[in-house]
Structure 1
Amino acid sequence: MELIRGLHNFAPRHRGSVVSIGNFDGLHRGHQALIARLRTLAVQHRVPVTVVCFEPMPREFFQGAAAPPRIADLRGKLRDLALFGVERVVVLPFGARLAAMSAQAFVQQVLVDGLGARAVIVGDDFRYGSKRVGDLALLKAIGAVEGFSAEGLGTVELEGERCSSTVLRAALAQPDLDKVERLLDRRYRIVGRVRHGLKLGRQLGMPTANVHLRRPPALAHGVYAVRLAWPGAPEGLPGVASLGVRPTLGLTACLLETHVFDLKPDLYGQEVVVEFHKFLRPQLKFDDLDTLAAQMQADGLAARAHFSQDLIPS
């Protein structure tokens, strides 16, 4: 998959695309339906499947710390888009300049001049341009002049409820991992690169692979039974993970710490995928490290029990 960062990196070879635009946070079933339609159009027009998204997301620019937490960071989003067959992703830096761009200018510079769009498909509630004045009707009107078709994809429902990032975010906050899996059609996962940490887990008998999270994700802080995958073990191995700010240590940065059972792989610098299988308990503050260590061992046993149950024939 090709990544294009910013309008200034458009090249003549990028002209000729079928395009969708949006945040694609979480890549739930609604997003998947949109991309499936995009792939059909790509075959018809014999051009690449292209997605345009924004970094930061517009609500993060306008609302700052009050913006809803992300379901996936950019690294995870790009990985999922590639898995669903997207061939090009345009990441536009969202700042004051882009926020002030008119809807007509946005379509002209991105879809017409930059990508030479043959077809554009968006969610039926998609808005764009300064003050969000651009809508599907305007997109169709410009397309009729510039030579591209435009269509909106209707709402995708699951169990009588709209499948959306808002609904998915609420399920992650509970956390209701069964509902999350239904909305995503897969288990929730976090992608990140393993960095050095305090090595406290090693001192307490449970070494961990640590992923520092610049933005706290939408998933509730707590301890989970997980599978950890990396290039050396792409199928993933079972383990236990703690997501949160480590209140016992008085820290505030969000960290994902994963212990893989019966293995001590050297994962520093490697990209890993943590897949969440079961919520075990919320994040707690302990009086001392001995109590924390005892709870960590108990968490490990609970996670092992979960995966052992998965192996029992029904």
Structure 2
Amino acid sequence: MRIHHNHPPNLPSSVVAIGAFDGVHRGHQRVISQAVKRSKKYNVPTVVYTFDPSPRSYFQGARILTTIEKKIEHIQRLGVDHVVIARFDETYINRTPASFIDELTNISPLEIHVGRDFRFGKNRSGDVDLLAEHFQLQLTESVCCPGGTIISSTRIRNLLSQGNIQEATFLLGWSSSNFVSQDFAYQSNPS
């Protein structure tokens, strides 16, 4: 897998999954796995476009579930060919939606996979409808646990804060000792 910082590679075609993917939980795994499956069908590379730090961490100070290194490790296990890591900072948040769309044209996506709530550009002014005007868009439905509750990074953070490592680990879909940020786990479950 090739890692690209701040700029995607120039590719003749690809299938792309975009998101913060903090925790690379079961819902994220579905988005990425669907993109990998489609890229194999088209015989083109899969690209994951993600952010460091995650937007929620940048704007709201939310604790991250994984370091960027662990995020990359888990994305690689899903069979991705390229990862673009956009530095999420003051410069990035002031980009126009058109700038983001122009950047995506460099990787020539045959399809882009995102969640329904995906937003981009300054003040979150770009949305899935705008993205669909430029690219073939595949919206991934939310993934729910057996009880019917949506799996989300926020929910996992809350479970960890409450010391519920077992349920958080189930929602993540990865081993907690291998996956959850150690300082988060220690603070959530003090000795």
Relative to the length of structure 2, the TM-score reads 0.90
Q: 1:73 to 1:11 in 2, by over 3 A?
A: closer
Question: How much does 1:24 deviate?
Answer: 0.6
1:152-171 maps to which residues of 2 (within 5 A)?
152-158=139-145, 159-171=147-159
Q: 1:186 to 1:95 in 2, by over 3 A?
A: closer
C-alpha distance in 2 between matches for 1:138 and 1:125 = 12
Contact 2:3 2:84 in 1 (8 A): yes
Query: Which residue pairs with 2:20 in the alignment?
Result: 23
Q: 1:162 to 1:217 in 2, by over 3 A?
A: farther
Greater radius of gyration (CA): 1
Question: How much does 1:56 deviate?
Answer: 2.1
Query: Which residue pairs with 1:200 in the alignment?
Result: none
C-alpha distance in 1 between matches for 2:98 and 2:31 = 23
1:187 aligns with 2:172: no
Question: How much does 1:43 deviate?
Answer: 1.4
Query: Which residue pairs with 2:165 in the alignment?
Result: 177
Of the three residues 138, 145, 150, the one matched with 2:137 is 150
Relative to the length of structure 1, the TM-score reads 0.56
C-alpha distance in 2 between matches for 1:217 and 1:87 = 30
C-alpha distance in 2 between matches for 1:105 and 1:166 = 28
**Letter of the structure 1 residue corresponding to residue 184 of structure 2:** A
Contact 2:57 2:64 in 1 (8 A): no
Q: 1:75 to 1:11 in 2, by over 3 A?
A: closer
Question: Please, which runs of 5 or more residues in structure 2 have no aligned partner?
Answer: none
Query: Which residue pairs with 1:204 in the alignment?
Result: none
Specify which structure has the higher proportion of helix: 2
Contact 2:35 2:46 in 1 (8 A): yes
**Letter of the structure 1 residue corresponding to residue 47 of structure 2:** T
Query: Which residue pairs with 2:2 in the alignment?
Result: 2
Contact 1:71 1:217 in 2 (8 A): no
Contact 2:22 2:54 in 1 (8 A): no
1:140 aligns with 2:106: no
1:125 aligns with 2:117: yes
Tell me the matched-pair count: 189
Greater relative contact order (Cα < 8 A, sep 6+): 2
Query: Which residue pairs with 1:51 in the alignment?
Result: 48
C-alpha distance in 1 between matches for 2:79 and 2:155 = 24
Q: 1:95 to 1:19 in 2, by over 3 A?
A: same
RMSD: 2.0
Question: How much does 1:221 deviate?
Answer: 2.0
C-alpha distance in 1 between matches for 2:172 and 2:56 = 22
Specify which structure has the higher proportion of strand: 1
Q: Deviations 1:116-167 (Å, cap 9, x if unpaired)?
A: 1111010111111111011111111122xxxxx1121111110211100011
